[in-house]
């Protein structure tokens, strides 16, 4: 885990033009909390993507360290996918596929669309928010860190993240790279396909770990779709082509050896079908193009200059950005 924090809903702006925001308060002013705040601020302020929750401000005062993010009204994917209220509708397949593509694009952006490759380290349903139109946005960069570049691993003394999503080389040896995120994304794909949690003690003994349970089935590709698909979905209430792509992508992402996993730009190509930049599926209406998810180059965006403003927060803090990781 990273530094302890709490999130509040608030409003900013004048009386007639207020905007809802999510205010993340970092608990304490100790060395770990201050470093975590600075790192998250520097990373989040450098990100400009429709697939990432935007940082709109920050505050450093005697009451605490605060990061202010845009408020996303739809709630977390975890709430929609794993809710236990049988009176509520099951998350439909078209939304699940839309989420898979959108999150893939967000992680692709972190790895390839920024000046420095960013590894999120905690990709999971509770860190994915859905807009009112059910478009996914990646959030919570409390564990995020930089690497020297895609596929350039380094060692961490302290393993941080969530059990069930940790890549084996990271969990066992502290080896961290962009391929760590790729593995976590593979687990997320399984959750979208099956409706199951990454770790679920309510499953039969030996089947509690979703990735371990699904791996033998993934070897069979399309033949395993009926066994993998969420039983709460109506029979055939999904696009077989999309399901096939998601199963194939999950299989590739969950390779035990990090060097054999695809990069996130390759995962995006797998989900969208490498021969077509746009997703053509009647489930989305109109001409079938999933607007906003087509492959397109990343445009350079204006970035915040926050370096000078961090002087107060960095007082007494080592220049080393993270004592737990060595490069």
CA dist., res. 101 & res. 99, Å (int): 6
Distances (CA, A) of 289 to 39, 89, 282, 283: 37, 25, 9, 10
Q: Which of 30, 85, 122, 258 is flagged as catalytic? A: 122
For Cα atoms 253, 259, 261, give the angle at the middle one, nearest 5 degrees. Answer: 15
DSSP code, position 38: H
The alpha carbons of the chain give a radius of gyration, in whole angstroms, of 20
Tell which residue, 58, 28, 53, 31, has the closest CA to residue 42. Answer: 58
For Cα atoms 6, 137, 265, give the angle at the middle one, nearest 5 degrees. Answer: 130
Three-state secondary structure readout of 203-254: CCCCCCEHHHHHHHHHCCHHHHHHHHCCCCCCCCCCCHHHHHHHHHHHHHHC
122 is catalytic: yes
Tell which residue, 164, 163, 158, 190, has the closest CA to residue 176. Answer: 158
- Residues marked active site are found at 122
């Amino acid at each position: 885990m990273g530094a302890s924090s709490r999130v509040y809903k608030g409003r900013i702006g004048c009386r007639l033009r207020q905007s809802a925001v999510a205010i993340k308060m970092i608990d304490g002013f100790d060395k770990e909390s201050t470093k975590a705040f600075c790192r998250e601020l520097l990373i989040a302020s450098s990100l400009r993507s429709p697939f990432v929750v935007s940082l709109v401000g920050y505050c450093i005062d005697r009451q605490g360290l605060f990061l202010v993010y845009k408020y996303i009204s739809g709630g977390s994917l975890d709430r929609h996918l794993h809710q236990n209220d049988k009176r509520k509708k099951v998350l439909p397949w078209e939304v699940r596929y839309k989420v898979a593509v959108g999150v893939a694009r967000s992680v692709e952006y972190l790895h390839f669309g920024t000046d420095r490759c960013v590894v999120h380290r905690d990709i999971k349903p509770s860190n994915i928010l859905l807009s009112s139109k059910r478009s996914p946005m990646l959030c919570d960069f409390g564990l995020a860190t930089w690497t020297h570049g895609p596929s350039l691993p380094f060692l961490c003394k302290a393993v941080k993240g969530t059990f069930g999503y940790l890549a084996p080389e990271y969990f066992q040896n502290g080896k961290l790279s962009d391929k760590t995120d790729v593995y976590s994304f593979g687990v997320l794909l399984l959750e979208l396909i099956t409706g199951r949690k990454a770790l679920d003690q309510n499953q039969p003994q030996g089947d509690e770990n979703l990735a371990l349970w699904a791996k033998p089935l993934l070897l069979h590709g399309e033949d395993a779709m009926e066994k993998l698909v969420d039983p709460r979905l109506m029979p055939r209430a999904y696009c077989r082509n999309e399901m096939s792509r998601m199963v194939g992508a999950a299989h590739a992402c969950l390779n035990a050896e990090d060097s054999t996993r695809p990069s996130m730009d390759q995962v995006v190509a797998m989900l969208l079908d490498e021969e077509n930049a746009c997703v053509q599926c009647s489930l989305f209406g109109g001409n079938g193009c999933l607007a906003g998810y087509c492959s397109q180059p990343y445009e350079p965006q204006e970035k915040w200059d926050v370096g000078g403003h961090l002087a107060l927060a960095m007082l007494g803090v080592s220049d080393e950005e993270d004592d737990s990781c060595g490069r």
